[in-house]
Amino acid sequence: MILIAGKIPEADRHIDWLNQQLPEPVAYEENLDEAARKYGTVPIVIGPASRKFTAQHVQQYSELKWYHSLSAGVDALPLAQFRQQGVTLTNCSGIHGIPMSEQIMGMMLMFSRNLHNNVRSQMDEEWTRDYPLLQELHGKTLCIVGAGSIGKAVAQRAKAFGMKVIGVKRNQLDMPDFDEVVGHEELDGMLPKSDYVLLLTPLTDETYHLFGRNQFREMKSSAVFLNYARGKVVDEEALIQALRTHEIAGAGLDVFAQEPLPAQHPLWGMNEVIISPHTAGVSQNYYDRALQVFVDNYNAWCNGDPMPTKVNLELGY
């Protein structure tokens, strides 16, 4: 038996589909505590990637062999407990490319065409044309820090707008739609060249506060910073300072060190900041794609093949 632990939308439709794809039955329990109590001997659990799924939950599944996370980022999960119990962890890496790349392109267009201020003027019923000279994405340079599957999708769309694309990643391989790919050690050297800097790296011990005061100082004063990684990959105080002192021109943010972002937080009141509430990966097609990834991993697991999205529990991604 396979268990889905935690609430998912359109559960009946998704369970019916899984039962058509898999040779063993699928159970469903919305409450995580009840799921562990009722189904503590199942070997496979599909569940959330949030802190709500705790080490204690993992311990309650005495026969657990494999946990499939319904998200790509797994930094909130009890990785140490998975290691201790010898549990395989897979994630949904690869499913966010379409929605996130579309939102990121939308965010860059908001800044280049000053659309966020148009919306504010509309709310105030003001016909305002007293804006800085409007920009174009065409000819601008985008630096993608963490050029994985999402970065590739962004690069493809950015090239369609005529942008130059630089990728920063651990493995310096030539990739389609990237004009240049460099290693992490060359990141600071790419920042003065870039008009938009997009952060897509996972949160690990290595990437915690990867962007801080030194990195913002290296950026152009006309540049826009975009964080679609994890909030703690950025030193948020350094970002706020860079915005206040106009070291950078703006920031498009989907993730934050504390979520929900607290009321009265300085970022709320900054005109040069556009905020989305960690929704870039959300789509009407999300769970269709997430469960297809599970089925692909299940087939590989049954056949003794490498699982496509297996997480390295030591590295955290």
Catalytic residue positions, numbered: 230, 259, 278
Q: Residues with Cβ < 8 Å from 167, sequence gap 6 or more? A: 143, 144, 147, 151, 155, 175, 178, 180, 181, 182
Say how many C-beta atoms besides its own lie within 10 A of residue 6's C-beta.
Answer: 20
Burial code (b: 16+ CB inside 10 Å, e: under 16) for 18-48 equals: beeebeeebebbeebeebbeebeebebbbbb
Judge contact between 66 and 44, C-beta under 8 A. yes
127 — phi, psi (to 5°)?
A: -90, 90
Cα separation, 12 vs 18, whole angstroms:
10
Between the alpha carbon of residue 154 and those of residues 11, 52, 132, the distances in Å are 31, 31, 26
Cα angle value 201/247/143 (rounded, 5°): 35
267 — phi, psi (to 5°)?
A: -65, -30
Burial code (b: 16+ CB inside 10 Å, e: under 16) for 153-183 equals: bbbebbbebebbbbbbbeeeeeeebbebbbe
Say how many C-beta atoms besides its own lie within 10 A of residue 109's C-beta.
Answer: 15
Secondary structure (3-state) at 117:
helix
Nearest alpha carbon to residue 51 among 36, 25, 73, 24: 73
Pairing of strands 273-275, 224-227: unpaired
